[in-house]
Structure 1
Amino acid sequence: MKPVPAKILEGKENDVFDTKIVNSPYFSTLFHFHEECQINYVVKSEGTRMIGDSIESFSQDDLILVGSNIPHVWHNRKEYFIATENENQAKSVTLFFHPDKILKIISQFGNVKTLADFFQLSKRCMRFRGKTKLQIKTLLIQLADEVDVLTRLNLLTKILQILSETKEYDLLTGAGYTNTYQLKDNDRMDIILKHIFNNFAKEIHLEDVSEMIYMNKQSFCRYFKSRTQKTFVEFVNEVRVGHACKLLTQEDYRVNNLAYDCGFNSLSNFNKFFKKFKGLTPREYRGKYMSSSVRGHNL
């Protein structure tokens, strides 16, 4: 799945910012990147989210900031693609803004170091939580519905101020991540990633995937790691662990079923990879999530 360059703001709001509401059977964008930063709020939907070298499951109430020129895609679970046109199961509200152009405008009124530092940090990409998440999603929805230009500017300013001051976020991409995708790449990665996202709960054979793009195993492994900065096995198991994290947030889910429901062939193998990617055991992860949920309800 090669990321393609996208022109988001051309001809809109003087090329500085704009909003977009998606309400459809499924999210349909390709793996892509653009100069604009992007704040994406998932109102309804679930699947796998890939941003840079981060692979996680997503569901409703997911609020993410993607930095400038970081490849990304939200890919729904395969059952979404058999929905009829009347079954809108995927809804999101997104704000796009050009960081350099915003800094140039605001610099005419004062020091922009805090905001510039935040834009630099945003290239690590962020998942927001707590009061920040509530504030941003509320302002984001208001901004998407607003037509008055001055009111839109005011809402944008409030969002940027909250973002530049908050500590309620988790960084998604690795500190050393860089966008290594090249435009000369063909569509082979599209085929590979969609196959993994749709079939991670089953056994996926390296030979089968390499044959899909007419490569031998050795060439495929080199190609895949050069694009994703992960081995094929690491990538597939990280997708599975991401799905496991989503299941662990469901109170009625039985942890004993977790390994096999996520595509692992043994409980010990699952526990090993879960601890590797998350730094916690599945039960510790669930306990941490449940305790944080209780604190959230008490705020």
Structure 2
Amino acid sequence: MKPVPAKILEGKENEVYDTKIVNSPYFSTLFHFHEECQLNYVVESNGTRMIGDSIESFSHDDLILVGSNIPHVWHNSAEYFVTSENENQAKSITLFFHPEKVISMLSQLGDVKELSDFFQRSRRCIRFRGNTKSQIKILLIQLAEEVDVLIRLGLLTKIFHILCKTKEYDVLTGAGYTNTYQLKDNDRMDIILKHIFNNFAKEIPLKDVSDMIYMNKQSFCRYFKSRTQKTFVEFVNEVRIGHACKLLTQVDYRVNDLAYVCGFNSLSNFNKFFKKAKGLSPREYRNKYMSSAIRGNDL
């Protein structure tokens, strides 16, 4: 899936930030990047989220900050594209802001080093949790609905203040991640990633995928790793593990059944890859999630 550059504040050159509410049958599947940072709160929806080299499942109540020029996409589950508009909805509230313009604007009011440091951390992309998420989602809703410019500015600075101070977050991308996608790439990655997202629950033969974009297997493996910084097998397994994590939060799924539901050919392989990716066994992961849920925290 080739990321394309996007103009978020196009036609609003003097704007420092903007908000967007999405309420549609499904999210756009376009893999893209832009200069503006993006603070995205998923009100309702589920599927697979890809941000830089991070691949995870997402569902409602997901709060993510995407750094400047990091390729990303929220891809809905397959049922969103085959059922009627009323059966599934994709709802989100997003704050876009240009970090350099924010710094320039607020530096006239005082020291912005803490905010500048936070924007630097945002290059790793961040998932927020706990009380921070609870506070931010309320402020995002208020900001998106408010029309008074001074009240909006107050809400914006309050959001930044909370984000700068919080410790309730996890970074998503690897420390060495860089955007290696080239705009001259054709649509081959679009074909590959959509195929993986829609078919990870079953075997995906390497030859079948390489044939889809008219490459031999060796050339395809080099091409895929140069774009994703992962081997094809690593990438597919991360998609599967991300889906397994989502299912482990649902008590009606037995742990021993998840291997086959998520596309692994054996329970032992599933346990091995899960432990490698998450540092916990699937059962330990579920127990930790349940304990966190009881305490009212996120995993």
- 1:29/1:95 Cα in 2 relative to 1: closer, same or farther (>3 Å)? farther
1:44 aligns with 44
Take 2:289 and 2:271, find their aligned partners in 1: how far apart are those partners? Answer: 17
Q: State the shift of 1:82 in Å.
A: 1.2
Q: State the shift of 1:15 in Å.
A: 2.4
- 2:296 paired with 1:296: yes
- 2:107 paired with 1:107: yes
Take 1:210 and 1:13, find their aligned partners in 2: how far apart are those partners? Answer: 42
- 2:275 paired with 1:275: yes
Take 2:10 and 2:99, find their aligned partners in 1: how far apart are those partners? Answer: 14
1:30 aligns with 30
1:116-146, CA deviations, whole angstroms, 9 ceiling, x for partnerless residues? 0000000101111110000000000111111
Query: What secondary structure is seen at the aligned counterpart in 1 of 2:157?
Result: helix
Take 1:266 and 1:147, find their aligned partners in 2: how far apart are those partners? Answer: 55
Query: What secondary structure is seen at the aligned counterpart in 2 of 1:280?
Result: coil
For structure 2, the residue ranges without an aligned partner over 5 or more in a row are none
8 Å Cα contact 2:45/2:88 also seen in 1: no
Map 1:152-171 onto structure 2 (within 5 A).
152-171=152-171
8 Å Cα contact 1:12/1:18 also seen in 2: no
8 Å Cα contact 1:24/1:87 also seen in 2: no
Query: Which amino acid in 2 is paired with 1:237?
Result: N
Query: Which amino acid in 2 is paired with 1:113?
Result: K
Query: What secondary structure is seen at the aligned counterpart in 1 of 2:21?
Result: strand
8 Å Cα contact 2:80/2:88 also seen in 1: no
- 1:295/1:13 Cα in 2 relative to 1: closer, same or farther (>3 Å)? farther
8 Å Cα contact 2:38/2:95 also seen in 1: yes
- 2:193 paired with 1:203: no
Q: State the shift of 1:8 in Å.
A: 0.2
1:200-255, CA deviations, whole angstroms, 9 ceiling, x for partnerless residues? 00110000000000100000000000000000000000000000000001122211
2:14 aligns with 14
Map 1:107-126 onto structure 2 (within 5 A).
107-126=107-126
8 Å Cα contact 1:21/1:144 also seen in 2: yes
1:15-55, CA deviations, whole angstroms, 9 ceiling, x for partnerless residues? 21001111111111410000100011111110000000000
Query: Which amino acid in 1 is paired with 2:32?
Result: H
**Aligned-pair identity (%):** 84
2:127 aligns with 127
Query: What secondary structure is seen at the aligned counterpart in 1 of 2:14?
Result: helix
Q: State the shift of 1:111 in Å.
A: 1.3
Query: Which amino acid in 2 is paired with 1:226?
Result: S
1:75 aligns with 75
2:252 aligns with 252
Map 1:78-89 onto structure 2 (within 5 A).
78-89=78-89
Query: Which amino acid in 2 is paired with 1:205?
Result: P
Query: Which amino acid in 2 is paired with 1:48?
Result: T
- 2:44 paired with 1:56: no
Take 1:214 and 1:44, find their aligned partners in 2: how far apart are those partners? Answer: 38
Calculate the TM-score normalised by the size of structure 2: 0.97
- 2:178 paired with 1:178: yes
Map 1:227-238 onto structure 2 (within 5 A).
227-238=227-238
- 2:131 paired with 1:145: no
Query: Which amino acid in 2 is paired with 1:10?
Result: E
2:284 aligns with 284
Query: What secondary structure is seen at the aligned counterpart in 2 of 1:57?
Result: strand
8 Å Cα contact 1:202/1:263 also seen in 2: yes
Query: Which amino acid in 2 is paired with 1:248?
Result: L
Take 1:283 and 1:127, find their aligned partners in 2: how far apart are those partners? Answer: 23
Take 1:29 and 1:153, find their aligned partners in 2: how far apart are those partners? Answer: 31
Q: State the shift of 1:86 in Å.
A: 4.3
Take 2:12 and 2:280, find their aligned partners in 1: how far apart are those partners? Answer: 45
Query: Which amino acid in 2 is paired with 1:111?
Result: D
Q: State the shift of 1:88 in Å.
A: 5.0
For structure 1, the residue ranges without an aligned partner over 5 or more in a row are none
8 Å Cα contact 2:37/2:99 also seen in 1: yes
Superposed CA RMSD in Å reads: 1.1
- 1:205/1:268 Cα in 2 relative to 1: closer, same or farther (>3 Å)? same
Query: Which amino acid in 2 is paired with 1:9?
Result: L
Take 1:86 and 1:130, find their aligned partners in 2: how far apart are those partners? Answer: 31
Query: Which amino acid in 1 is paired with 2:185?
Result: D
